[in-house]
Amino acid sequence: MKNKQQNNPNSADQKELDFFENISSEWWNKDGKFKPLHDFNPPRLKFLKEEIIKHFDLNKNLDNDKNILNDKNILKNIRILDVGCGGGLIAEPLAQLGADITAIDLVEKNIITAKAHAEEQGLNINYQCIAMEDLEITDKYDVILHMDLLEHVLERSEFIKATSNLLSDRGIYLATTLNRTLKSLALGKIMAEYILRWLAPGTHDWHKFIKPSELQEDLTSASLNIKKICGISYNPLRKDWNLSQDISINYILSASKNP
């Protein structure tokens, strides 16, 4: 019998939704308004794939000589829910590895853009314009993703609790967000949006950035334990992003349910 999550209208900030609707056509333009996310994607995807593969012990039957992270079937039968999927920058690469992806977003134009691009790539991704709280579920998900989403949510603690209800007992939760520090205000907000113009002005509200201790408290309340946390840092010499130990601006984490 299908269950429906209780609707929580406070999880979405209409101002934030309107902002992303206005730039939704830019998602797959690698030199457009979402260029920073395209540049940011390699370390995010590396972390996601490594954590999912390790959590479910997916490499046990693979040839040692294989490039595990690029094996086309490595995520076969893994059910992933990508919440706040945008134009599909994370959903598509994971679908290419065989995952069964449901990707949702509250901005209809994002879903239209994502669907069109996935069809061009020959990918079968279940895109829906729906709130996470309104999803009808028959089975829970193995993986739930909140990629650069939590800093745009109003009632974060309740939102994460609703997430935990959708995650299977053996599942893994993965999230990226921004730390609320003076460094992130200077570099992640002012420099990125108003000086370098990496992001459109108004993309982020620094007051909504989340300290790791705050997120850990939310996760603990939702019966989730942090397994690993890394920073994602920009190297100005190489002009690229990499996983690092510096979590003062961007960070990414994995968590699983309490035993």
- Reported as a single tens digit per residue, the pLDDT across 192-235 is 766 766 666 777 788 899 999 999 999 999 999 999 999 999 88
Give pLDDT, residue 63: 53
Count of other CB atoms within 10 angstroms of residue 165: 15
The answer to whether 157 and 220 have CB atoms below 8 angstroms apart is no
Tell me if residue 121 falls in helix, strand or coil. Answer: coil
The phi, psi pair for 131, rounded to 5°, reads -75, 145
- pLDDT for position 10: 46
Mean of per-residue pLDDT scores for the chain? 85
pLDDT band at 77; cut points 50, 70, 90: very high
Residue 204 token pair: 């982020």
In angstroms, the CA 174 to CA 50 distance is: 11
- Cβ atoms of residues 205 and 185 within 8 Å: no
Beta pairing, strands 141-147 & 79-83: parallel
The partner residues of 177 in beta bridges, in order of sequence, read 251
DSSP code of 7? P
pLDDT of residue 7: 41
Question: What is d(CA 59, CA 51) in angstroms, rounded to the nearest whole number?
Answer: 12
Cα–Cα distance for residue pair 189/16, rounded to 1 Å? 16
Closest CA to 132 of 119, 146, 118, 152: 146
Condensed to tens digits (0 to 9), the pLDDT of residues 111-140 reads: 999 999 999 999 999 999 999 888 887 789
Q: Is the pLDDT of residue 44 over 80?
A: yes
Please, which pLDDT band fits residue 22 given cuts at 50, 70 and 90? low
Predicted pLDDT of residue 2: 42
pLDDT band for position 65 (cuts 50, 70, 90): very low
- Please work out, in degrees rounded to the nearest 5, the angle formed at the alpha carbon of residue 44 by the alpha carbons of 142 and 22: 95
The closest of 109, 68, 55 to 257, measured between CA atoms, is 55
Residue-wise pLDDT tens digits, 4-14: 444 444 466 66
* Chain segment 133-176, per-residue pLDDT in tens: 888 877 899 999 999 999 989 899 999 999 999 999 999 999 99
Pairing of strands 136-137, 3-4: antiparallel
Tokens of 73: 């079937």
Q: Residue 62: its pLDDT value, please? A: 56
Least confident of 37-46, 65-74, 81-90, 198-207: 65-74
Ordered alpha helix ranges (H), the chain: 14-22, 35-55, 91-95, 108-120, 156-166, 182-183, 212-221
Q: Is the pLDDT of residue 26 over 70?
A: yes
Indicate if the pLDDT at residue 37 is higher than 70: yes
